[in-house]
Structure 1
């Protein structure tokens, strides 16, 4: 069913979405089962210190994430070669151990989790699915009108529409995640430092116009431009009066000493 463009509550960005919240949740539940199956034997137990670390950070971020009906679950996957984390619709959180040394501390982990939670808050999975349906329809229409192979319009639409839109979503999640972590009394400067470390890790990254993500350099610069606003949010949340510190988990500490 066609729906009018909707506006992101936190950023005011207009976007197209034809997927309902119920459909998005169903997709999230299906993906959750698939990830659990593919990660069988590699998920750390709930009582593991690293899982407890992720839960501790998540517990402070959840009140800043307006996701109705979320059933939050944390899973840490033992894979030191995978620098990744993601959150599925419905609040299922997956963190690969490979990203923890890059996070360095709880503030860095809050920057990562805030970004991933923001994708769900902004309903980016539904937006991506909607855009995919729109792109497929456009490719079929253009191919029929001009009697050409679908590969050419598919490539052009990918470069001119899908990839830029994906980069816009990533930038939006960066901004939303920065504000959420600041409200949760995590140091917003840690987000900029995180992307500085990410930039040093990048090897043979594609040009930004061919990537689904903005470059780490551009992400760091954009976050630094918003640090003044984030710092105000941090102070208005009463964080200066809290005795906060970044606690490095035994797992991260062991990794950094290798």
Structure 2
């Protein structure tokens, strides 16, 4: 009887795994703006809604919005110039740019659908308008590349696989699958960053900015990380040195 229960659990577990894999791979499309084939389960409209709903929470996490209207207007001006001069203007996304009050966290990030943030800690270290364009162009690249939506689909895939393994196999096997999935997701994160750098260079050039300024941004991030930075294999972001080389390659490719 016990052996029969094991077989039933195994079949159920395999069924969950097969269904999850089928769901993931059946929802594939080619990104109109990058030409990349992606597995995405939500619409651009849903991305926009998620981004708008999450914006107040993300601002709160970083101390709210920066009170200086002139700084915010400057960020808006550069961001809108980048959007209106590039492929971003052809997308259905609603781009909004937010300068966060946070003076400690050197960071910039994008939510699905076009909500883009930069902390004052990073903003204050930038040396010129071109570097700001580099930061915002990179984040616009994440939105155009639909990286958040793609990551959500990967998380659903991982969740389904883990559920199937937990039901049909030994729990220790599920732990192994989780570890492998974590490594794969870190790798996907690094690929997204490199693609956003590549897109960011193109977006900068289209708007008339000097793409070499993005290299200066990488130097700022490198200095901020210091000697105790997280090894690349354990981070969702590639090492700034590697990013600099890829950015140089992107700049050269657009000159041709």
Note whether the superposition's TM-score is higher than 0.5. yes
1:187-241: per-residue Cα shift (whole Å, max 9, x none)?
A: 0111122212322222322221211111111101110112223345xxxxxxxxx
CA distance in 1: counterparts of 2:36 and 2:207, whole angstroms? 24
Aligned to 1:252: none
Aligned to 1:57: 78
- 1:169 paired to 2:192: yes
Higher Cα Rg: structure 1 or 2?
2
Deviation at 1:68, TM superposition (A): 3.8
Distance 1:163 1:67, change over 3 A: farther
Select which of 210, 221, 224 maps to 2:248.
224
- 1:215 paired to 2:239: yes
Deviation at 1:38, TM superposition (A): 4.1
- 1:196 paired to 2:219: yes
Distance 1:205 1:188, change over 3 A: same
Aligned to 1:185: 208
Partner SS state of residue 6, structure 1: strand
Aligned to 2:65: 43
Is the deviation greater in 169-178 or in 59-68?
A: 59-68
Report if the CA contact (8 A) 1:182-1:231 is conserved.
Answer: no
Deviation at 1:37, TM superposition (A): 4.2
Aligned to 2:11: none
| Structure (1/2) with the larger helix percentage | 2
- 1:77 paired to 2:100: yes
Paired residues, number = 229
TM-score, normalised with respect to structure 2: 0.81
The CA RMSD over aligned residues, in Å, is 2.1
Unmatched 5+ stretches in structure 1 = 233-258
Partner SS state of residue 97, structure 2: strand
